[in-house]
Amino acid sequence: MSDHHHKETFITKYIFSTDHKMIAKQFLITGMFMALVGMLMSAVFRVQLANPGEYSVLYNLLPGGWVSEDGALNPDKYLALVTMHGTILVFWVLTAGLSGTFANFLIPLQIGARDMASGFINMLSYWFFFLATVILMSSIYVEGGPASSGWTIYPPLSALPEAIPGSGTGMTLWLLSITIFVVGSLLGGLNYIVTILNLRTKGMSMQRMPLTCWALFVTAILGVLSFPVLLSCGLLLLFDRSFGTSFYLSDIIINGEALHYAGGSPILFEHLFWFLGHPEVYIILLPALGIVSEVIAVNSRKPIFGYKAMVGAILLIAFLSFIVWGHHMFMTGMNPFLGSVFTFTTLLIAIPSAVKVFNWLATLWRANIRFTPAMLFAIGTVSAFITGGLTGLILGDSALDINVHDTYFVVGHFHIVMGLSAIYGMYAGVYHWFPKMYGKMMNKTLGYLHFWLTFICAYGVFFPMHFLGLAGLPRRYYTNSSFPMFDGLSDINEIITFFALAGAVAQAIFIFNFVYSIFKGTKASKNPWKSNTLEWTTPVERIHGNWPGELPVVTRWAYDYSKPGAEEDYIPQNVPLKEGEEEH
């Protein structure tokens, strides 16, 4: 184990740190920066959708040449913005920003370990991520612009610079960046798995692990199994682009010229991509659901209802997530029988999801709820998970997907169930563990304001999108003014844009609260939320090695809240069972 008495220099403490807590903060800050970039991008394209072709002061944020002389956003740069927004939010914010932060921060602290199994590999994982970030950001400024073929980068559009300018240098950098990103995320994921399997403190059996750790553990397994497929998928695309192979390309004429590619299939790419892509949804969602389970239990002052069922649901969702990828491809012309199989497996996911929702509701029932900002966001997550999850029953049904596939109905669905649930979960996590991360409290009132504004604006943005979709409006359209059938939809677009801009401004409250509290926040106590898990038994001042003396010994599960017969309404996991006391 690492020696916690050695001297730390500025560089080993803040930059090349091997301390999991510092690495978690590095992931968090990088993730927050990328979230800001991704959000500003969405603000720009929302402005375009509300006022097609008109100049907006937000366009000043864009690199030169993205806006035409009459002040309109270029259509292919609109696609560039959509693509980068998706890439950044899915991979940078909700994968690395969420898992990277909380897996690093919580796993060693909650299982009672001094650090990750390998601090050095953990450090590498962040720096690979950082390098990937630098490359992705620089791709915005290359000639032709960044990747513009949607975050799913389907070839041939992503393979041929003649098809769209962003498929030139920008796409090469995108692939390079993702490759490095995957390396970083695999190093991190392996570390999380090994740490959980080997470094649990005495008494911390798997059956006593907090649900956060269960979720992060299963997430890491999903990542390790699926990200390599994305890596190979991207490498084959790189080969097609640079070395003339035909994995994905065939029978193509572009600019009046027949290309040499023969025998490849773009559908192969889609299979490989979505074999990662669907587990990826749960790589994003599960950590948030784990955080929410923890935050709800702590602030309800009640045990999480149905702990075993919650673990079972996580495992079942993870398993099913590997056999449903085809529901992204119902309209590719694949064999209809295959479509039937994927419909069947997809709709099954509703069962463990329903179990989770009912268990959260049962946890809130007859609780004594303390509304910390984290708790508000946790309830927000449950709401978003219900609202967005239900529309999955429409999209997962191949027959219904025929008419809503790739419309705004999909955009509304996944932004609520995956985007909002995960972002709310992330906010819940930051508000909840901020005292442990920085030894300070975040301002409560600003937290409340942040939640309520975000909650209102987010539903104002994403709920109306279902109606756009049911009106037949395809996603990724620069404007819907080319079709008279969509003329009636401009009101909806304006409402969405209004809420999007207001929601973006509301996030400034959070950023301010976060930065201000780090430096000027009131000092946190050791266990401000009266929580049971082990991280709250560590000292407020950060030390390398987590516990100054011996590691705590665990004797009970993490959810002994309001247990009859106890003096207080919580019993930390390291408090021995009283004589005759039953373990829940």
Partner 1 sequence: MTNLLIALVVLLTIAAMVQLVRVNELLSEITNKDTNEVTDEDNNQNGILFIIIGFGFLAFVIWQMITWDHLLLPPASSVHGAEIDGLMKVSMTLILVVFFALTPMLFYFAYKYRGKKENTAYFFAHNNRLEVAWTVIPTIVLTALIIYGLRTWDRAMNPDVSDATVIEVYSKQFDWTARYSGTDNVLGDANFRLVEGRNTLGVDINDKKAADDIVVREVHLPVNKPVLLKFRSRDVIHSAFLPHFRVQMNCVPGLSTQFAFTPTKTTAEMKENEGEDFEYVLLCNKICGSAHFNMQMKFVVESEEDYNKWINSQKTVQNTLTLK
Q: Considering only residues 371 through 400, tell me which ones interact with partner 1, judged by CB under 8 A.
A: 371-372, 376, 379, 382-383, 386-387, 390-391, 393-394, 397-400
Residue 474 is a binding residue for partner 1 (CB under 8 A): yes
- C-alpha dihedral (128, 133, 138, 144), degrees to nearest 10: 110
Going by C-alpha positions, the residue among 2, 200, 220 that lies closest to residue 99 is: 220
User: Counting contacts by CB under 8 A, is residue 479 touching partner 1?
Assistant: yes
Residue 409 near residue 465 (C-beta atoms within 8 A)? yes
Amino acid making up residue 164:
I
Evaluate whether 152 touches 273 at the Cβ level (below 8 Å).
yes
Q: Among residues 483, 539, 553, 576, which is the contact residue for partner 1, using CB under 8 A?
A: 483
Contact 433, 356 (CB under 8 A): no
Give the one residue of 39, 121, 157, 176 binding partner 1; rule: CB under 8 A. Answer: 157
Q: Shortest gap between Cβ of 510 and partner 1 (angstroms)?
A: 11
Query: Which of 15, 29, 235, 351 touches partner 1 (CB under 8 A)?
Result: 351
- Residue selected from 6, 69, 488, 519 as contacting partner 1 according to rule CB under 8 A: 488
Residue ranges in 505-534 that form contacts with partner 1 under rule CB under 8 A: 508-509, 512, 516, 520, 522
CB of 168 to partner 1, least distance (A): 13
The beta strand positions in 416-544, using DSSP E, are none
In the chain, the amino acid numbered 322 is F
Q: Considering the complex, state which of residue 4 and residue 476 has its C-beta at the smaller distance from partner 1.
A: 476
Smallest separation, CB 212 to partner 1 (Å): 18
- Which CB, 75 or 439, lies closer to partner 1? 75
Are the CB atoms for 162 and 257 separated by under 8 Å? no
Residue closer to partner 1 by CB (options 7, 520) is 520
Q: Which of 194, 224, 311, 470 binds partner 1 (CB under 8 A)?
A: 470
Binding mask 66-105 for partner 1 (x = CB under 8 A): --------xxx--x--------------------------
Mask for 401-420, x = binds partner 1 (CB under 8 A): -xx-xxx-------------
β-bridge mates for residue 474, sequence order: 407
The single residue among 2, 340, 539, 577 that binds partner 1, judged by CB under 8 A, is 340
Sketch the per residue contact string, 241 through 280, with partner 1: x for CB under 8 A, - otherwise: --------xxxxxx---x----xxxxx-------------
Specify which residues 304 forms β-bridges with. Answer: none
Q: Is the CB of residue 441 less than 8 Å from the CB of residue 528?
A: yes
Residue among 1 and 505 whose Cβ is closer to partner 1: 505
**Smaller CB separation from partner 1, 8 or 54:** 54
Residue 13's alpha-carbon distances to 33, 243, 264, 518, in angstroms, are: 21, 43, 50, 17
Among 441, 540, 543, 575, binds partner 1 (CB under 8 A): 441
Identify the CA nearest to 27 among candidates 126, 132, 105: 126
Q: How far is the CB of 356 from partner 1 (least distance, A)?
A: 10
Nearer to partner 1, 108 or 380 (CB): 380
Which member of 227, 273, 305, 547 binds partner 1 (CB under 8 A)?
Answer: 305
Residues 449-468 that bind partner 1 (CB under 8 A): 452, 455-456, 459-460, 463-464, 467
Q: Indicate left, alpha or beta for 100 from its phi (over 0: left) and psi (-120 to 50: alpha).
A: alpha
Q: Which of 97, 83, 91 is nearest to 152 (CA)?
A: 83
- Asked if 320 and 345 touch (Cβ cutoff 8 Å), the reply is yes
For residue 205 the two structure tokens come to 């059996």
Should residue 302 be labelled a site residue for partner 1 when binding is judged by CB under 8 A?
A: yes
Q: Which residue type does 241 have?
A: R
CA distances from 420 to 300, 323, 384 (A): 22, 24, 6
Residue 160 binds to partner 1 (criterion: CB under 8 A): yes
# residues contacting partner 1 (CB under 8 A): 126
Give helix 211-243 / helix 266-300 axis angle, nearest 10°. 160
Please give the Cα distance from 47 to 497 (Å, whole number). Answer: 6
Q: Would you say 189 and 100 are in contact if contact means Cβ atoms under 8 Å apart?
A: no
Residue with smaller CB distance to partner 1, 5 or 308? 308
Among 202, 370, 526, 578, binds partner 1 (CB under 8 A): 370
Contact region with partner 1 (CB under 8 A), list: 108-116, 208-216, 273-281, 329-337: 329-337
